[in-house]
Amino acid sequence: MIKPVGSDELKPLFVYDPDKHHELMHEARSLPSVVVSSQAAGNAVMMGGGYFSPMMGFMNVADAVSVAETMRTTSGAFFPVPLLCLLENVDAIRGAKRIALCDPNMEGNPALAIMDVAAIEEVSDAQMALMTERVYGTSDRDHPGVGTFNSQGRYAVSGPIQVLHFSYFHDDFPDTFRTAVEIRHEIAERGWKRVVAFQTRNPMHLAHEELCHMAMERLNCDGLVIHMLLGKLKSGDIPAPVRDAAIRKMVELYFPPNSAMVTGYGFDMLYAGPREAVLHAYFRQNMGATHFIIGRDHAGVGDYYGAFDAQTIFETQVPPGALEIEIFKADHTAYSKKLNRVVMMCEAPDHTKDDFVLLSGTKVREMLGNGIAPPPEFSRPEVAKILMNYYQSL
């Protein structure tokens, strides 16, 4: 199986030993504590599950700035985005050497992790501006990722952490949420050697489904891991339970047995386009995938990124040898009326726009809300039914 990033073995930060876990939970109740941002909580969950291995905790400001500029920490470790725990107020933990990081997304704000505090630093305006511009490619506060990143506070608390739970993801998505450790184990149990991963924050329509089949065939893969984001999205995106149900129905009906896993991870979407595409590849290697599909405007939002910036960044900015996972570059896929099948649009040079079945997201939502199924060339009827039920319930 492919090695994790930067190490021979995965380094999850969740405390699996039950006695140690019980001891730390008890200790957390007596420690100075702070409720972290949802984004920081997602970072802790990802570190707990081994997705961000070999990172051992939250970065200090020097490392975060270095990562924003070069994708490497000051010691040379590769990571594509700053891994920060930003706070608005640090009065409750000032001077403390060991603290509890509390979950903002669960009732009662239980302790999510314990941190050995290495530093508490104030991030300057210039440092925030630099990180914002380098990671998101814009300083526009209307960009949802930029707005979130800059609204968490200006104090960075750094240090190694021990993770105590997986926030609400484990409870709310017991059949879908999986750690990188668990996915690696399941890939091994299934006997898969070549594995392609597909990222989604949306339901999968026919073009997505066929893209996955296409990648599996061209890469000669044994299996596919459909890996959906379960954390917070921007307003208007379809909730995770609805996406989960739609994707599971598609896999049940249209994929052979033992060819696809439906899984999810606990993290809030960054909408950072190319930089987030690299992060996606990073943790897909850690979960055991040998290949990763990156399509048009991967992890993008609005018109902030070029259509294929998320593909070219692997050639132009990712340090050589930093990742072993291979990228499957995909163009926009759509149903061809001429060929009566889904194709990559770049592979049909004799086609005009009218030769494809193309529907805007707005048009599809309008149809579903009115109880009208999109054409079968766009969406499987069983998937459309689940989405119609959701939109008509709003």
Question: DSSP string of 29-98?
Answer: TTS-EEEPPHHHHHHHHHHHTTTTTT--EE--HHHHHHHHHHSB-TT--B-SS----EES--TTTTT-SE
Q: Which of 202, 220, 275, 370 is catalytic?
A: 202
Q: Which of 134, 201, 248, 365 is catalytic?
A: 201
With beta carbons less than 8 A apart as the criterion, state whether 270 and 144 touch. no
134 part of the active site? no
State the Cα–Cα distance between residues 243 and 201, nearest whole angstrom: 8
Beta bridge mates, 357: 335
What distance lies between CA 195 and its chain's CA centroid?
A: 18
State the Cα–Cα distance between residues 53 and 14, nearest whole angstrom: 11
43 part of the active site? no
State the Cα–Cα distance between residues 260 and 388, nearest whole angstrom: 25
Other C-beta atoms lying within 10 Å of the C-beta of residue 87: 22
137 contacts: CB under 8 Å, gap ≥ 6 = 272, 273, 274, 275, 304, 305
Q: What is the DSSP letter of 373?
A: P
Collapsed DSSP state (helix, strand, coil) of residue 323: coil
CA dihedral of residues 305, 307, 308, 309 (deg, nearest 10): -10
CA atoms within 13 A on the CB side of 59: 26
150 contacts: CB under 8 Å, gap ≥ 6 = 128, 132, 141
Strands, E, within 185-277: which ranges? Answer: 195-200, 223-229, 260-265
- Which residues are known catalytic residues? 201-202
